[in-house]
Amino acid sequence: MGAEWVQFDIKFYSWHDYNLIRQLHKFDLFLLENDRDYDCYKRAVRELIANNTRVHCDFLKNKNRVERGILNHTLSDLDLLNWNQIQKTFIIVIDNSPWPEALDNSEIYSQEGVDKARE
């Protein structure tokens, strides 16, 4: 007999060590549901860093699967599972690159930043 109930919490957070004087850094969290979206994400980050080219990915429109500029987030079984599905696959991306913020502001990732990333 299979499980009758699965319950979980997955916590993501930016860590701050006062001894090392590290800053809290915001990150983006993407719950991608297919390889096409993940491939678009990888291409978009690569193109931004290598060529200063901004690539938009359609999954950014899905506000239920995108959290931008956060310090922490918790995913629970209720966020990912429902009673009508036997299984579901997600690709969870924790992003601290300048993309997708660079899509909204062309000054976030300048040519100077591109040159530094290439060094």
Confidence (pTM):
0.73
Residues 6+ apart with CB under 8 A from 32: 38, 41, 59, 65, 90, 91, 92, 93
**Nearest Cα to Cα of residue 41 among 62, 53, 25, 59:** 59
Please report which confidence band the pLDDT of residue 114 belongs to, taking 50, 70 and 90 as the band edges: very low
pLDDT mean over 54-69: 92
Beta strand 91-95 pairing with 27-32:
antiparallel
Residue 56 has pLDDT above 90, yes or no: yes
Residue 117 has pLDDT above 50, yes or no: no
- The two three-digit tokens of residue 84, written as one number: 């009508």
pLDDT of residue 84: 77
pLDDT one-digit tens code per residue, 69-102: 888 888 887 777 777 777 778 899 999 888 888 8
pLDDT of residue 17: 62
Q: Which helix (H) or strand (E) holds 104?
A: helix 101-104
Residue 33 has pLDDT above 60, yes or no: yes
Backbone angles phi, psi at 27, to 5 degrees: -140, 165
pLDDT of residue 80: 74
Residues of the chain above pLDDT 90, percent: 29
Instruction: 56-63: list long-range contacts, CB under 8 Å, 24+ apart.
Output: 56/103, 57/100, 59/30, 59/32, 60/100, 60/103
pLDDT mean over 53-78: 88
